Amino acid sequence: MLTDYLSPMTEIIHNHEGTLDKYIGDAIVGFFGSPIKTPDHAFRGCVAALEQQALLVELKKKWERDGVAWYRKMQQARLEMSFRVGLNTGRAKVGNFGSQTTKNYTMIGDIVNLAARLEGANKQYNTLIMASEFIVAACSSAIMFRELDRIKVKGKTEAVGVFEVLGLPDQLDSELEALLEVYRRALDVYYQRDFEQSRRIFESALELRPGDGPSRVYLDRCYAYLENPPPDEWDGVYIMTTK
């Protein structure tokens, strides 16, 4: 199972001149920009993540069509196969780190820790690819993003803007664009502390896409703040209490 999954996912990283750092169980740690210098490494990371998500959809169809034994067992147990991605960019220490006898070419630094936290933070919003505001700034308009939140991850004191990676500009369909228009309007009103109006607009977003995780998160927050309003100094930042 791991070989069938990790092999093509790793190939996508290599296709975009990325570096495989390590496998942690069924997780893949990779990075872009070293040792091959790629000024557009943030863009490459986003594209690789999008391709990986698209590939998994096709792989599941193939495994089902070919009657792969381990995948059939997963289906019988009603287990869904999916994965999340966290993306960040910035300055890190990259090189051969380790002991006197064993070393690993890897990356170390706060930006690496934040990327790992963002991978897990997807669970809160039912999203698959989460990127930091630094990724968004580096990619400009080459990638389409959706603003998710302003969060403080566990162990950090500074807030960071986080975004969902949606796709390349020409990949968005009209249904998603309609959802995003409503969602953005609701989020603007939410930050203005008009939680009643924001609630109504997020409900409209969920009518367009009932399973939209970010809209559901904010709808629940609106109900909570209508019941117990935030303090006057509230700045909209959400503090993550889990990794």
pLDDT digit string, tens, across residues 164-206? 999 999 888 999 999 999 999 999 999 999 999 999 999 999 9
Q: How many CB atoms lie within 10 A of CB 212?
A: 23
User: Which percentage of the chain shows pLDDT scores above 70?
Assistant: 99
Instruction: Output the average pLDDT for the chain.
Output: 95
The confidence band for 216, taking pLDDT boundaries of 50, 70 and 90, is: very high
Residue 242 has pLDDT above 90, yes or no: no
Residue 154 has pLDDT above 90, yes or no: no
Q: Tell me the CATH number for domain 2-171.
A: 3.30.70.1230
What confidence score (pLDDT) does residue 243 get?
66
Which DSSP string corresponds to 89-114? Answer: -S--EEEEEE-SS-EEEEEESHHHHH
- The span from the CA of 240 to the CA of 243, in Å, is 8
What confidence score (pLDDT) does residue 84 get?
98
86-111 pLDDT tens trace: 999 999 999 999 999 999 999 999 99
Sign of CA dihedral 161, 166, 168, 169: negative
Residue 141, Cβ density class (10 Å: 0-12 exposed, 13-18 middle, ≥19 buried)? exposed
| Residue ranges per structural domain of the chain | 2-171, 173-233
